[in-house]
Structure 1
Amino acid sequence: MRHKGLAIWMALLFLGACSARRDATRPPAPAQASAITVRVQRAASGADTWSLTYELPTPSHSVRFTRPGHGSRQSHWRVLEPAGASIERQGDEDVLSAPDGSSFRSLRLEVSTYVEKPEKDYQVFIPYSDGAVLLYTGVLGLTFGEAEPPPLHVFLTPRPGERVVVAGQSSEHEVRWEGSPQGTYAYFGAGSAVQDGVTAVVDPGMPRPLREHIESLLPRLFALYTARTGSPLTFEPALFISFGPSPNPGSINMSGGTLPGLVQLDIRLGANRLADADPEVIPRVSELVAHEAAHLWNGELAVHEVPGGDWMHEGGAEAFSLRALAELGTVPVEYVRTRLSDAVSECLLKLEGAPLRASSRPGKYTNYYRCGLIISAMAEASARQARPGTDIFALWGRLLREVGPRGHYDEARLYAAFSSEGVSQRTLAVIRQLVDGPNVDAEAQVLAELRLLGFEPQACDGDGKLARRTPCVRLGRVPFLP
Structure 2
Amino acid sequence: MNWLNITKIKTAISMTLSLLAYFNAEIAWANSQAHNDSSPANILIKVEKSTTDTSEKWVVTYTLTTPAKTLAFVRNPDTSRTTRWFAQDNDIEIVFDNVKHQELVRSKSGRPLSTVSFLLTPTYKHLGKDYAPFSPFSDGGNAFHSGRLFACANTCTEEDNKWHLTLNVPSDEHIVLNGKVMKSSVSWTDNNDGRVVYVGKQQPIITDNVVALIDPGFPESIKASLEEDIPNMMAFFSHSLNPLKGEKPMLFASYANVDDHSTQGGTLPNQIFMHWNRQDLNEQADNSSFVNQTLWFFAHEVAHLYQPGSTEGVSENEEQSWLHEGNADYFAAIAMNFLYEDANSYVESRMTRAFESCTEGLAQTTLARAYKNGHFNLYYSCGMIMHRAIDSVVQQKTLGEESLFTVWKRLQKVVNSGMSPGTATFLTLLEPYNAPELIKAINNATSDDAFKAIQGIETLYQLPE
In 2, the alpha carbon distance for the partners of 1:78 and 1:189 equals 25
- 3-state SS of 1:43 partner: strand
8 Å CA contact retained: 2:263, 2:277: yes
Amino acid of the residue matched to residue 435 of structure 1?
A: T
The question of 1:288 aligning with 2:297 is answered yes
Residues 349 and 423 of structure 1, relative CA distance in 2, 3 Å threshold: farther
8 Å CA contact retained: 2:122, 2:136: no
In 2, the alpha carbon distance for the partners of 1:316 and 1:178 equals 32
In 1, the alpha carbon distance for the partners of 2:291 and 2:42 equals 45
Per the alignment, residue 256 of structure 2 pairs with 244
In 2, the alpha carbon distance for the partners of 1:426 and 1:144 equals 50
Per the alignment, residue 117 of structure 1 pairs with 125
In 2, the alpha carbon distance for the partners of 1:151 and 1:450 equals 44
Amino acid of the residue matched to residue 267 of structure 1?
A: W
Query: Which whole-Å deviations, capped at 9, do the CAs of 1:87-114 have from their partners, x for residues lacking one?
Result: 33455422469x997997xx69584654
Query: Which whole-Å deviations, capped at 9, do the CAs of 1:298-333 have from their partners, x for residues lacking one?
Result: 363423214622211111111111111222228622
Per the alignment, residue 232 of structure 2 pairs with 220
Q: In the alignment, which of 183, 187, 195 is matched to residue 198 of structure 2?
A: 187
Q: What is the CA distance between 1:115 and its match in structure 2?
A: 2.6
Per the alignment, residue 10 of structure 2 pairs with none
- 3-state SS of 2:396 partner: helix
Structure 2: unaligned runs, 5 residues or longer: 1-29, 97-102
In 2, the alpha carbon distance for the partners of 1:436 and 1:150 equals 33
Per the alignment, residue 201 of structure 1 pairs with 213
The question of 1:339 aligning with 2:350 is answered yes
8 Å CA contact retained: 2:107, 2:113: no
- 3-state SS of 2:190 partner: coil
Q: In the alignment, which of 369, 380, 389 is matched to residue 391 of structure 2?
A: 380
Amino acid of the residue matched to residue 357 of structure 2?
A: E
The question of 1:427 aligning with 2:438 is answered yes
TM-score, length basis structure 2: 0.74
In 1, the alpha carbon distance for the partners of 2:410 and 2:151 equals 41
Per the alignment, residue 88 of structure 1 pairs with 93
Residues 160 and 327 of structure 1, relative CA distance in 2, 3 Å threshold: farther
In 1, the alpha carbon distance for the partners of 2:411 and 2:269 equals 20
Residues 64 and 352 of structure 1, relative CA distance in 2, 3 Å threshold: closer
Q: What number of residue pairs does the alignment pair up?
A: 417
Per the alignment, residue 428 of structure 2 pairs with 416
Where in structure 2 are the equivalents of 1:422-461 lying within 5 Å? 422=433, 424-436=435-447, 438=449, 440=451, 453=464
In 1, the alpha carbon distance for the partners of 2:460 and 2:151 equals 54
Indicate the percent of aligned positions where both proteins have the same amino acid.
Answer: 22
Residues 100 and 291 of structure 1, relative CA distance in 2, 3 Å threshold: closer
Q: What is the CA distance between 1:186 and its match in structure 2?
A: 1.4
Amino acid of the residue matched to residue 56 of structure 2?
A: D
In 2, the alpha carbon distance for the partners of 1:314 and 1:163 equals 34
In 2, the alpha carbon distance for the partners of 1:147 and 1:345 equals 41
Q: In the alignment, which of 391, 396, 410 is matched to residue 403 of structure 2?
A: 391
8 Å CA contact retained: 1:209, 1:276: yes
Residues 446 and 122 of structure 1, relative CA distance in 2, 3 Å threshold: closer
In 2, the alpha carbon distance for the partners of 1:448 and 1:303 equals 24
Q: What is the CA distance between 1:384 and its match in structure 2?
A: 1.4
Q: What is the CA distance between 1:202 and its match in structure 2?
A: 2.4
Query: Which whole-Å deviations, capped at 9, do the CAs of 1:18-63 have from their partners, x for residues lacking one?
Result: 342768xxxxx7x43x6444443432543312465666546x5887
Per the alignment, residue 182 of structure 2 pairs with 171
Q: In the alignment, which of 73, 80, 88 is matched to residue 85 of structure 2?
A: 73
8 Å CA contact retained: 1:43, 1:50: yes
Q: Larger Cα Rg: Structure 1 or Structure 2?
A: 1
Judging by fraction of residues, say which structure has more helix.
2
Q: What is the CA distance between 1:395 and its match in structure 2?
A: 2.0
Structure 1: unaligned runs, 5 residues or longer: 1-15, 24-28, 80-84, 455-482
Residues 375 and 96 of structure 1, relative CA distance in 2, 3 Å threshold: same
TM-score, length basis structure 1: 0.71
- 3-state SS of 2:379 partner: helix
In 2, the alpha carbon distance for the partners of 1:45 and 1:330 equals 50
Residues 400 and 350 of structure 1, relative CA distance in 2, 3 Å threshold: same
Residues 96 and 286 of structure 1, relative CA distance in 2, 3 Å threshold: farther
In 1, the alpha carbon distance for the partners of 2:113 and 2:263 equals 46
Q: What is the CA distance between 1:373 and its match in structure 2?
A: 0.8
Q: What is the CA distance between 1:180 and its match in structure 2?
A: 1.7
